[in-house]
Chains A and B, each alone.
Chain A
Amino acid sequence: DSGVTQTPKHLITATGQRVTLRCSPRSGDLSVYWYQQSLDQGLQFLIQYYNGEERAKGNILERFSAQQFPDLHSELNLSSLELGDSALYFCASSTGGARGFTGDTQYFGPGTRLTVL
């Protein structure tokens, strides 16, 4: 158990809908990262938050957004869902993540499996 929790574990929805995925980082970790794992794209970095602020963006679609709350949990919002958004979405957390700091290890949650029908 990494200490990172994600809910829900599974989510099934229809095209055009909007969903919210939730992540609670390990106790004491300030950074939250979101990754998408799909069969065709592999594991892709989406976005990072550090202590409530967006720190880095990767291959995140404009239909997707995220935020990190004062209690450090994070939510990933996916809207106007398409079939191709079906994937496993992972959250990871780390202690640091300040700009320029690369020395901390990311621990992953169990993931949320999203199926868009």
Chain B
Amino acid sequence: GEDVEQSLFLSVREGDSSVINCTYTDSSSTYLYWYKQEPGAGLQLLTYIFSNMDMKQDQRLTVLLNKKDKHLSLRIADTQTGDSAIYFCAEKDYKLSFGAGTTVTVRA
């Protein structure tokens, strides 16, 4: 079965970088995703990475994948107050298996 783990909380100062870490277990996952959920809202797709890639950059977001260690991270550069949300890592075969989510709090 699949098991995706994330740290539950991260507090970061505005303007600093945030790094959210995730580990997964299913080595057959072809895609790994990051979703963002703001309070009272749905899941917004942030970015994804194909399993044969090591890194993907998309504006302020950088995804790093270490396939050997089954470790995925999301770095948010120049973190803003609008980045405060819950971030979910997910691995995918035919369905998405989500981690518990990391609550990111941005302090002024």
Chain A interface (Cβ within 8 Å of chain B)?
2, 33, 35, 42-43, 45, 48, 55-56, 58, 90, 92, 97, 99, 101-103, 105-111
Contacts and interface: CB of A to CB of B under 8 A. Distances in A.
B101 A108 contact: no
7 contacts: A2-B45, A35-B96, A42-B98, A42-B100, A43-B101, A108-B43, A109-B42
Interface of B: 30-31, 33, 35, 41-45, 48, 88, 92-101
A50 B33 CA distance: 21
Contacts of B99: 42
Nearest to A57: B95
B30 A103 contact: yes
A116 B44 CA distance: 26
B41 A2 contact: no
B50 to A, nearest CB: 8
